[in-house]
Structure 1
Amino acid sequence: MLKSAPAALAAALLVSTACMAAAASPDVTAIVADPARPEADRALDASRHPAELLALLDLKEGQTVADIWPGDYWDRLFADAVGPTGKVYAAHLTEADAAEKQVTPPPGSMPIPEHPNVTSVSTTANTFSLPSKADVIWFRQNYHDLYDKFMGPSDVPAFNKAVYEALKPGGRFVIIDHTGKPGSSVEAMEKLHRIDPAVVKQDLAAAGFRLVAESDTLRNPDDALDLMVFNPAIRGKTDQFVYVFERP
C-alpha cells in the first residue's frame, strides 16, 4: 500500500532525524568536567589534555573506537563520547600482555563495569583484527614498541595494513608517541622509548594512509629528546607528536 504524501514526508523526516541523532557530536568539555569521573583520572587531565584531544578526534555518538594497548582512563572518555549506542574495543595485543606479564581479559568481557559499551578484544600485532570495523583506532605512546625487542619485534608493515583493514573507509588511525631525534636507530627507540616522527609518517604512507591532521597539544620544545621517557627529569613532560591518519 502506498503512503500518502504527508505520511511519506513524515517518515522521511523521522529517518532524517534519527540519522542526525546518531551523528550528534558530544560535548567534550562536559564529558571531561563530569564530576562522576574518577578522581585519579581527573588528576591526570592537566598533562593529558583530554578535551583538546577528544575535540581533535571529533567522535560522534554511535561510532566505534578501538584503543590499542588500552587504558581505562581513555576508554572511559571514549565510552562517554560515543554514548550507549557506540562501542569501544579495548584491544589487547597478546605479545604486549605477555611481555608485561599481564593476563589478557577474555574477549567480549566488559573491563569497566560502569561503561558496558567497552569490551575487551584479544589480537596480535601482525594480524590485528576487531569484531567489527572501527571509525577510529587509537594507539598512544606505544607505536615505537612495535620495533623493539619488547614486542618481538613485530612486522610493522603487516600491523599497519591490518589496522587499515580494520577501519571503515574514511576511518582514522590516531598515533601519539614520544618524539625521538631525527634518524633515531632501533636501539635508540628501545633504550629511550622514543621514535622519529618521520618514521611514523613513512610507515603509514606506505600502508596507504593519508595524514589529515596533527596537533601540537602535547609538544614540549624544552625536551632535548635525549632522556629515556621514564627518567624522573622528563617523565610526564616529554615532547609528543599527535598524528591523525585516514583510510581513504
Structure 2
Amino acid sequence: MKRRLMTIATIGSVALAGNMAITYPVAAASHKVITQNDDKSLIKAINDSRRAESDKARDVYRHPLQTLRFFGVKPSQTVIEFYPGKGWYSDILAPLEANSGNYYAILPDNDAKETAFLQRMAMHPGWYGQAITLRFNPLENAVWADGKADRVLTFRNVHNLLSAGDDVAATAFADFYRSLKPGGILGVVEHRLPENENSTLEKTSGYVKKSTVIRLAKAAGFIFAGESAINANPKDTHNWPKGVWTLPPSLALGTEDQEKYWAIGESDRMTLKFVKPK
C-alpha cells in the first residue's frame, strides 16, 4: 500500500465548496472551555482557537476529552484514525501528535472523500504537522504504521463497513489488529442499535449492535477491554424514518419536525475499547 507523507504546505489552499453548514441551536452550541488540570495537551488541543466554532458546538454531543481519555490517547503516540470523514476529530488528534507523535489518516478508496479530508487539512497550514494519509483497500491486507501504532480510532464508521459487506468489515478489523503494537488499543464509537432489533438494520439505518462490533473485533484477535457511557443518548429511540441521519447533524428530513430532532440531539452512541494482547 502506497504511503503519502503530506504537510499542509505541500497541499496548498483549497476552498470548501458545495457544503451547507449546520447551524446549531444556542442551547446546543454552548461550548465550555475545559479547565481540568490533567490531560493538559489534550485539553489544549480541544480548546484550540483554530477549531471552528461549529465543530466546538458538537463537543456537547461528542465529548472529545472524555472519549479520548477513555481510549488513552496522549501526545507522543502513533495514532491511526480510520475514515476521518471531513476531519472533526482530526483537528484534535493531528495537532496533538504533530510535535512528538505520529498521526495517520486512513481514507476510503474514494477520491471524493479523500479530497474532502485534504481540503480540511489545507484550511490549517502548519497545524496538522506531517500527517500521513493512506487508503483502505478491502482487497488488501494492510499494516499501517509498520504494526507499531499505539492507538487505532474510528468514529461512527462500522455501519459504513457493514454496508459495504461483512467481508469488508472483517478486513478492516484485521487491518486494525495488524497495525497495532502488542498492548495497543482500538477505540470504536458507533451509533447503537438495540440488541433486540433486526440485524438487517445495521446495513441500512446507520445503527449497529454492540454484539456485532465485539464479534468483529474478537474475530480479528482483539480482547474486549471495556465500555464507556459517555456518548450514550437515552432520548434516541433508534427508529427514525431516515435512520440515524434523521437526527442532527444530518437532519435528513430537512425542516420537518426539526425542533423535535434538535431536542433529541445527536445519536445514541456506544464507546468501546479493545486491546491487542501482548
Q: Does 1:45 align with 2:45?
A: no
Q: Does 1:246 align with 2:257?
A: no
* Partner-residue secondary structure (3-state), 1:72: coil
Q: Does 1:102 align with 2:119?
A: no
Contact 2:105 2:131 in 1 (8 A): yes
Following TM superposition, by how much is the alpha carbon of 1:158 offset from its aligned partner in structure 2, in angstroms? 2.9
* Partner-residue secondary structure (3-state), 2:232: coil
- Give the alignment partner of residue 194 of structure 1, picking from 180, 192, 207: 207
Task: Report Cα offsets for 1:25-57 as digits up to 9, x if no partner.
Answer: 653233322323332322221221111112212
2:157 maps to a residue whose letter is N
1:237 maps to a residue whose letter is E
* Partner-residue secondary structure (3-state), 2:230: coil
Following TM superposition, by how much is the alpha carbon of 1:153 offset from its aligned partner in structure 2, in angstroms? 5.3
Contact 1:178 1:238 in 2 (8 A): yes
1:26-105 aligned at under 5 Å gives the runs 26-70=40-84, 71-94=86-109, 97=110, 101-103=112-114
Following TM superposition, by how much is the alpha carbon of 1:82 offset from its aligned partner in structure 2, in angstroms? 2.7
2:206 maps to a residue whose letter is H
Size of the alignment, in residue pairs? 217
Contact 1:183 1:196 in 2 (8 A): no
Moved more, 40-49 or 84-93: 40-49
Moved more, 197-206 or 178-187: 178-187
* Partner-residue secondary structure (3-state), 1:238: coil
Task: Report Cα offsets for 1:150-193 as digits up to 9, x if no partner.
Answer: x2554333322221111111111111110112154453112211
Contact 1:84 1:117 in 2 (8 A): no
1:217-228 aligned at under 5 Å gives the runs 217-227=230-240, 228=243
Question: What TM-score, normalized to structure 2?
Answer: 0.69
Contact 1:25 1:58 in 2 (8 A): no
Contact 2:98 2:128 in 1 (8 A): no
Query: CA distance change for structure 1 residues 185 and 104 in 2, over 3 Å: closer, same or farther?
Result: farther
Aligned partner of 2:11 in structure 1 is none
Structure 2 portions without partners, runs of 5+: 1-37, 252-260
Q: Does 1:147 align with 2:147?
A: no
Query: CA distance change for structure 1 residues 147 and 37 in 2, over 3 Å: closer, same or farther?
Result: closer
- Give the alignment partner of residue 123 of structure 1, picking from 136, 139, 143: 136
Which protein has greater RCO, CA pairs closer than 8 Å, 6+ apart?
2
Query: CA distance change for structure 1 residues 218 and 34 in 2, over 3 Å: closer, same or farther?
Result: same
* Partner-residue secondary structure (3-state), 1:59: coil
- Extract structure 1 runs of 4+ deviating beyond 6 A: none
1:157 maps to a residue whose letter is A
Structure 1 portions without partners, runs of 5+: 1-23
* Partner-residue secondary structure (3-state), 2:50: coil
Following TM superposition, by how much is the alpha carbon of 1:213 offset from its aligned partner in structure 2, in angstroms? 2.5
- Equivalent pairs: percent with the same residue? 24
Distance 2:234 2:39 in 1: 32
Task: Report Cα offsets for 1:58-95 as digits up to 9, x if no partner.
Answer: 2232211111111422112112333412111111121x
Contact 2:199 2:209 in 1 (8 A): no
Aligned partner of 2:32 in structure 1 is none
Contact 2:95 2:129 in 1 (8 A): no
Q: Does 1:165 align with 2:194?
A: no
Contact 2:217 2:274 in 1 (8 A): yes
